[in-house]
Chains A and B, each alone.
Chain A
Amino acid sequence: MRSAFLWLLDKEWRELLVSRAWWVLLLGMGPLAGASFIGAVSVYGEVSGLNGTSAGVGEALSPLVGVWAPTFSACELAAVFLLPFVAIRVVAGDRQSGALKLELQRGMSPFARIAAKAAILLAGWMVAMLPPLSAILLWRSYGGSIYPPELATLTLGHVLNAGLTIALAAAMASLTEHPSTAAILTLSFTIGTWIVSFFAAVQGGWWERAAGYTPAAMVAQFQHGLVRLDTVLIAPILTLTGLGFAAIWMRLGAAVSRRVYESTGLVLVAAAAIFVCTFCAVSWDTSESRSNSFPESDERALQQIKAPLLIVAHLAQEDPRRFDLEHHALSKLRRVMPKLKVQYVSATSIGLFEQTNPYYGEIWYYLGGRKTMSRVTTAEGVLEAIYSLAGVAPPPENDEAIFRGHPLAVAPTGAGAIFYGIWPCLIVAGGFFVRWRLK
């Protein structure tokens, strides 16, 4: 005999199957992923030497950056513009139709109710991810190289992102009377995170720290094969907070004041948990090219340096050299030396009128009571400065450890037929079949 929860799961699945929003998501994912994959493979092939371009340019080409990040970007688009409507339909539909008034009379934890909806929505999202996941098989059929850890990381990132979207949409759908209001609030929240990222680029400081945890920034980390423990912990906390919020506000029979108190308590607990997680500095580089890390020999050498390192960079927030320094050197350095402190000094945000200042552009390194200065922002330059300060001999270059890349000079044969033809036909056929089956 089925439990009430299994009956609820069955009901939520049936409601998803009749959701037009979900079928639109499925229909759209094929061409979205297909266009991204075909474009990425075409460019990758040309850079690899296809159609007479210089051979050898394709060395150090990584499928993660060249093919998978663009292909799976379809998931990011769908998560922002299509998935919220699916979630809102599933959560708000019961309230609109009056079914919620019946279902609430079955004694059951509100968290169990929302968990059933979330589980089905996540399953629905996994179905929607079939086009980009099938691109992996297609790439394999072309003879392309596949490195499972980086693909698993990429997939995890998009699943976590979908969880965040589902939780946000569910919370808004439970809080508001009408689905359209929920949709507006959900999209407003998303735009709000983009604004945070914009302020982070301009202002830096706490804005930059906060922007690191926006969905777009989280997805970007995973797209480069980087798994950060703080992100992996914070994303589920945010998801559970959103779902908890939805569960609280789904209880129509509870007084509004009580729901407000419970929501406030939930937000405070979540904020405390997130604050603790921000101190988890552990991360893993799952990319085959080790694009997030220094060569292993350099990492071993850096780990021998126990004294705290302070770097003071006289570079403005929007100076491209600061971006280079952060992206190519300091982000990798922080992973190896958790005690690293970095300070940026500038009077302006653009640095344009600070060029005449003799200190502008200097990068000072302080280690064990000694200091040195450099203006080089490359990884090699930063390492050279640190080694000279620490009195450590740089490790010899290891040719075998250098990532040579996986050039593949092929055209995306058959991809158009699959993503633009077969997938949409399958979805339409599936829709008719489900309609017939549910009668």
Chain B
Amino acid sequence: MLFEVNGLCKRFGRIAALSDVSFQVRAGEVLGLIGPNGAGKSTLFECLGGVLPSDSGTMRSGGRPVGTRERPSLLFYVPDGIAPWPAQSVRWALDFTLGFFGGRPALRDEVIDQLDLRQLLGQPLGTLSKGQRKRALLAIGLLTPQPALLIDEPFEGLDLRQARDIAAALRAHAARGRTLFLSIHQIGDAARFCDRFVLLSGGRVCGEGTVQELATLAEVREGSRTYDDLEEVFLALT
């Protein structure tokens, strides 16, 4: 197990965005965080990434608590929908990632080719399309050194071909031992790509495990009906 989260809570006024969220992240896996819009996926990632304070909850790794100051050495969070350093070029952003975050220079060219960024290196980040910016953000995330990478909506803004290429690139990095924790609201994409899942709905964890394990859980809760795919399991459990 790489790290586990216990009892994470976050309120925005009267709204409980996260309630007693607990789950485990295993080293080297591709873990999918799935849930409907407003389930609290981005809020969860922002709390784990240390850019939003949680009201309560703990993180543990190797049997020891992980404070907010130690989290940057354990995980890196790539938010969705941001356009960092909009006037700076993609080339500069990647170099900055390597220098400022202590990234992995040996991966630079590989990541550029995997994410088809070579033609975009000289362009300012603010001038990129949504899909191009997503690829640039993914490149930044893949170049960071932390063992776990949290990505909010990795396939958002990408067409089918690009999504498959990105998925292959992420898989290649996961195969080398990088732990990926991906927030995906398209169940079909998640089912094709992830090893295990955390189901989040209304700020609560409704289930955690592989498709098989979640299906068994759904069968227990809902009666004798069998579940064939993740979409049906998700609808049953949330």
Contacts and interface: CB of A to CB of B under 8 A. Distances in A.
A141 B87 CA distance: 41
Given A15-B87, A438-B87, A439-B89, A254 B73 contact: no
Given A107-B72, A253-B53, A438 B100 contact: no
Given A14-B92, A97-B86, A2 B99 contact: yes
B195 to A, nearest CB: 25
Given A98-B84, A99-B82, A439-B122, A105 B100 contact: no
Contacts of A15: 85, 87-88
A107 B69 contact: yes
Nearest to B76: A105
B193 interface: no
B192 to A, nearest CB: 28
A350 interface: no
B79 interface: yes
A253 B99 CA distance: 23
Nearest to B85: A99
B100 A99 contact: no
Contacts of A24: none
Nearest to A100: B51
A13 B145 CA distance: 25
A7 B53 CA distance: 27
A117 to B, nearest CB: 14
Contact of A7 (B51, B87, B100): B100
Contact of B87 (A2, A18, A256): A18
B85 A253 contact: no
Contacts of A209: none
Contacts of B79: 98, 101-102
A103 B82 CA distance: 13
A438 B88 contact: yes
A438 B79 CA distance: 25
Interface in A201-218: none
Task: Classify chain B: how many residues form its interface, as a range.
Answer: 20 to 34
A439 B91 CA distance: 9
Nearest to B144: A105
A288 to B, nearest CB: 46
B51 A11 contact: no
A18 B82 CA distance: 19
Nearest to B126: A97
Interface string A296-315: 00000000000000000000
A98 B53 contact: no
10 contacts: A7-B96, A7-B99, A7-B100, A8-B100, A97-B82, A99-B84, A101-B77, A107-B73, A253-B49, A438-B88
Interface pairs A-B: 9 shortest CB-CB: A98-B82, A99-B84, A18-B87, A253-B50, A7-B100, A255-B53, A7-B99, A107-B72, A101-B51
Interface of B: 46, 49-53, 68-69, 72-73, 76-79, 81-89, 92, 96, 99-102, 122, 124, 140
